[in-house]
Homo-oligomer: A and B are copies of this chain.
Amino acid sequence: MSIQKEDIEKAQQRIQPYIHHTPVMTNQSINEMTGIQFYFKCENFQKIGAFKIRGGMNAALSLSADQLQNGIATHSSGNHAQALAYAAKTLGIKAYIVMPKSSPQVKVDAVRGYGATVIICEANQAARETALNKVVAETGAEFIHPYDDYRVITGQATCVKEFLEDVPDLDVVITPVGGGGLLSGTCLGASYFKPSLKVYGGEPEGAADAILSIRSGKVEKAPFIDTIADGLMTTLSEQTLGIIKELVTDILLVSEEEIIAALRLVYERMKIIVEPSCVVPFAAAMRNASLFKGKKVGIILSGGNVDLTKFGTWFPANSETK
């Protein structure tokens, strides 16, 4: 199923009443320091604290009355779990969320707080799929995959459309890339609403699967997984890879040190809380500053759901601002 311009327009209208039109922030000192004109689309201020509500809500609102009766289901330990739980609460339907037992209690509580049924399973892919298949078979709930789902990708595509409405003269947009839902949606949105817009994906060196996948043309695993960007550890899917490899300008890698430095800059200069995963695009722009000098560069700050007790690890007592 290929996603058309009209699909994105309809998705935007469909989800608009339920989500925030998030603000775009700029920061003079960061611009002066880098010689780049940055525009930050603050999806950390979005409902549930992340862009994932766009895809989750669009998928839920795409269901027929019949399907709605049985509710929705997914497996996720992250923001997609909260997105579906919130969408279900808003629509007055049931949500069944399979979460690995390694999930932080605070995330499990947040999902339950929206009234969703949480099914805890072992922390491996096979156990997640088994538990999900079981709950779907028992309830008839509609499975909504975190990214390998055209309704989800279409919902994520509304973010760049909204961004371009507020900043039409963007030259570049950079998103994080994990499973590729946001990046593929952004590629599609850009191709329909501003074909000249260059779209990059920012990826941690410690989860470098997307860069390999667009080179080989098939879904590859990362050579190793070691990153604080915990939202970006998954591989692409056939569907997201298909869109990304056709439309993306490039994938840019960043180190862990660069992620921490970018996090520090955003916290100190912009005074906003963002997830490590979501500063990866900003870190990528900083590392490749010569590519972007003098350009208007849009960064999708994809989310702000952090565990505050991690702060001490990211910014230890002896660390310093450069």
A45 within 8 A of B: yes
Beyond contacts A309-B318, A312-B317: 16 other A-B pairs, Cβ-Cβ < 8 A, are A45-B271, A105-B320, A106-B321, A264-B308, A271-B272, A271-B273, A271-B274, A271-B304, A273-B273, A308-B315, A308-B319, A308-B321, A309-B319, A311-B311, A311-B315, A312-B315
- Tell me which of B268, B304, B309 contacts A308 (CB under 8 A): B268
CA of A23 to CA of B25, assembled, Å:
11
A79: chain B residues at CB < 8 Å are none
By a beta-carbon cutoff of 8 Å, the part of chain A in contact with chain B is 23, 44-45, 49, 105-106, 264, 267-268, 271-274, 304, 308-309, 311-321
- Tell me which of B44, B106, B271, B317 contacts A309 (CB under 8 A): B317
- Tell me which of B23, B272, B313, B317 contacts A273 (CB under 8 A): B272
CA of A308 to CA of B273, assembled, Å:
12
A268: chain B residues at CB < 8 Å are 308
Q: What's the nearest-Cβ distance from chain B to residue A318, in Å?
A: 7
List the B residue with the shortest CB-CB distance to A266.
Answer: B273
CA of A26 to CA of B319, assembled, Å:
33
The residue among A268, A271, A309, A319 with the most chain B CB atoms within 10 A of its own CB is: A271
The residue among A272, A304, A311 with the most chain B CB atoms within 10 A of its own CB is: A311
Q: What's the nearest-Cβ distance from chain B to residue A19, in Å?
A: 12
CA of A23 to CA of B264, assembled, Å:
23
List the B residue with the shortest CB-CB distance to A304.
Answer: B271
Q: What's the nearest-Cβ distance from chain B to residue A5, in Å?
A: 32
CA of A315 to CA of B273, assembled, Å:
14
CA of A319 to CA of B141, assembled, Å:
36
A272: chain B residues at CB < 8 Å are 271-273
Are the CB atoms of A315 and B309 closer together than 8 Å?
yes
A304: chain B residues at CB < 8 Å are 271
A45: chain B residues at CB < 8 Å are 271
The residue among A272, A308, A313, A314 with the most chain B CB atoms within 10 A of its own CB is: A308
- Tell me which of B106, B264, B273, B319 contacts A267 (CB under 8 A): B273
A313: chain B residues at CB < 8 Å are 312
A318: chain B residues at CB < 8 Å are 309
List the B residue with the shortest CB-CB distance to A45.
Answer: B271
CA of A273 to CA of B308, assembled, Å:
12
CA of A268 to CA of B48, assembled, Å:
11
Q: What's the nearest-Cβ distance from chain B to residue A264, in Å?
A: 6
CA of A274 to CA of B267, assembled, Å:
10
CA of A272 to CA of B311, assembled, Å:
14
Q: What's the nearest-Cβ distance from chain B to residue A222, in Å?
A: 28
List the B residue with the shortest CB-CB distance to A308.
Answer: B315
CA of A267 to CA of B306, assembled, Å:
9
CA of A215 to CA of B16, assembled, Å:
52
Q: What's the nearest-Cβ distance from chain B to residue A107, in Å?
A: 11
Can you list 24 A-B pairs with a CB-CB distance of less than 8 A? A49-B271, A106-B320, A264-B308, A267-B308, A268-B308, A271-B272, A271-B274, A271-B304, A272-B272, A272-B273, A308-B311, A308-B315, A308-B321, A309-B315, A309-B316, A309-B318, A309-B319, A311-B311, A311-B312, A311-B315, A312-B312, A312-B313, A312-B315, A312-B317
